[in-house]
Chain A
Amino acid sequence: MSEIVAPVALASSVPRELSPRKLALRRFLRHRLAVVGAVALLLVVLAAVVGPLILRIDPNLVDPLAIRQPPSGEHLLGTDSAGRDVLARLLAGGRVSLLVGLTVALTATVIGLVLGAVAGFFGGWVDAVLSRITDVVLSFPTLIVVIIIVAFTGPSITTMILAVGLFEWPTAFRIVRGLVLSLRDQDSIRAVRGLGASTTHILIRHVIPSVVAPLTVVATILVAQAILLEAGLSFLGLGVPPPTASWGNMLNEAQSFTVLQSMPWLWIPAGCAIAITVLAVNFIGDGLRDASDPRSRR
């Protein structure tokens, strides 16, 4: 019963002048975990951007006299097997990991958006072929495909971004395609077309604005997935190549049981950084999904 009453109650309690966007913002801010996530992510980004400027230690500075030292006043999080400062590498690695996450999500979302709009708008065999390709790409575990591509081209940041981006677009594709299909036959779109608008004009002015909200949710979740994939690949030694620091390749050393057991400062910080960042991004994604859904109970 409460489901039936709720919209009425909601409608009467909300002042009329609020735009849908403001309503969405209000729903997002009421989502406690999402706000916590946004604050946490802001802190992580701030640390990665500003941190190295304050710390002023070269993350790639090798010091043979200070190998694998536990945390101290001089090295707040200790040093790694090459005597490099772990905190400096953690901050520099954050830049790399966040950058990879954002670029991959952007690449995948743009590919998904373009292909999805094309498939949904033109339909017919274009749609059939694209949808079949999507099924195949979607059912392949990205990790395996990317491991193989990266293994043969040699590890590099660009290869990894391209490879992951090229295999993570199907989620965005499906959402955009579905929306465009349902929009295409609406009277408003027919009317615009009747007025002589071109296909490009309809796509850019009428279709794309309506997919922005659901696409933002997908892109957010893609950022989380991309950071996880980067970490996994770099952990296996197939992602960001050394000496550049990334959270994943900082954990690479922990494959040795000696490091794992007696030098926790070498692997716990990077692991926690990945976990906290991905968790924060997923919280935001959850909040955005609830906020973009007007039927949501909050």
Chain B
Amino acid sequence: MAAFLLRRLLVSVAVLFGISLLLFILVRTMPGDPAEMMLNPIGFVGDREAALERLRVQLGLDQPLPVQYVRWISELLQGNLGYSYADGRPVAEVLSERLGATVRLVSFALVIALLVGVSLGIIAALRRNTGVDYGLSFVSLIMISVPPFFVALVGIFVFGLTLRWLPTAGMGPPGGGGGFMDALYYLLLPGSILGLMLAGPYLRYSRSSMIEVLGQDYMTTARSKGLSSGRIVLRHGLHNALIPLVTVVALQIPVLFAGAVIIEQLFSWPGVGRMALDAILARNYPILMGFVMMIAVLVLLCNLIADVLYAIIDPRIRL
């Protein structure tokens, strides 16, 4: 186990380096000069060319690309992600400030996706090949097929603008404050919509996993011992059916972060997704690279967690 973990960690670090190099090349060879973006040409007084030159030197943009990369990566290893071009604040500070909002949104969505997806999947498996099962597989296909931003638009239109039941912008009442219930109230619409995006795949996975488990010998044994069917399904069935699902969940957490980019934009949610979109429009490279590196770490971490969880839940697997 320890040897396996160490090997996976080393591979992850190597991959991370590769990604950082690719990203750096991609970002720095793209058109668009950040110095130009920072100095507003309208209302600028004095020698703009000279000011641009000073700014490029100050940001290190005048150095050759390899020098810039080595500088960036050695700073990165010391925990310094650089400074935002917009206001000069450390990227790590901006990221950690915004991360909380996204984590709140994503974890709520994950809970919704699991509750809806797994429970419907078990129902479909127990009622296999009946109208209920066909209906649910139709529902899961709809959840997979309708784009999340369209669901969000309809959600805002119905619950926010027409019925006026739920708030459609921000994380809490204007002016700050508000308790746990307030936070939940503001989370309900964006969180559920993001969650429904993954509920479809979860429904399918848990259904097929449960069907497989229900056909196993130990389920027949449990039934022949005279255990109640509810107990069989929950204690013996669900426990085993969840093993493959755990990996799927861990591997798809990054997908939720990607979905959050669109949902945050639509619901004016102050998370990292909106920050990344703003950074793209403003060509704020350090913020953008910080965001992508964060996603890369998240992806590799989720992969690792999936492997480890798999081994913990299923003792037959030896790493």
Residues of A at the B interface (CB closer than 8 Å) are 33, 132, 135-136, 139-144, 147-149, 151-154, 224, 228, 231-232, 235-236, 238, 251, 254-255, 257, 260-261, 264, 267, 271, 274-275, 278-279, 282-283, 286, 297
Contacts and interface: CB of A to CB of B under 8 A. Distances in A.
Interface residues of B, number: 48
Contacts of A261: 157, 161-162
A135 B303 contact: yes
A288 B147 CA distance: 23
Nearest to A285: B141
B303 A139 contact: yes
Interface in B261-298: 261-262, 265-266, 276-277, 280-281, 288, 292, 295-296
B144 A282 contact: yes
Given A149-B26, A151-B280, A152-B32, A274 B295 contact: no
Contact of B153 (A142, A153, A260): A260
25 contacts: A139-B300, A143-B262, A144-B261, A147-B261, A147-B280, A148-B26, A151-B280, A151-B281, A152-B27, A153-B31, A228-B147, A231-B147, A232-B262, A236-B261, A251-B149, A255-B265, A267-B153, A271-B150, A274-B146, A274-B147, A275-B150, A279-B146, A282-B141, A282-B144, A282-B145
A255 B295 CA distance: 26
A144 B292 contact: yes
Nearest to B279: A151
A238 B261 CA distance: 13
Interface string B139-157: 0011011111110011011
A127 to B, nearest CB: 16
Contacts of B162: 261
Interface of B: 11, 15, 19, 26-27, 30-32, 129, 138, 141-142, 144-150, 153-154, 156-157, 161-162, 168, 251, 254-255, 257-259, 261-262, 265-266, 276-277, 280-281, 288, 292, 295-296, 299-300, 302-303
Contacts of A274: 146-147, 150
Contacts of A224: 145
Contacts of B145: 224, 228, 275, 278-279, 282
A140 B295 contact: yes
B194 to A, nearest CB: 13
Contacts of B154: 271
B120 to A, nearest CB: 17
- Interface of chain B, main secondary structure: helix
A260 B144 contact: no
A279 B146 CA distance: 7
A224 B200 CA distance: 15
Contact of B292 (A148, A255, A286): A148
A284 to B, nearest CB: 11
A120 to B, nearest CB: 22
Contacts of B280: 147-148, 151-152, 238
Given A261-B157, A274-B150, A152 B295 contact: no
Given A140-B254, A232-B149, A279 B141 contact: yes
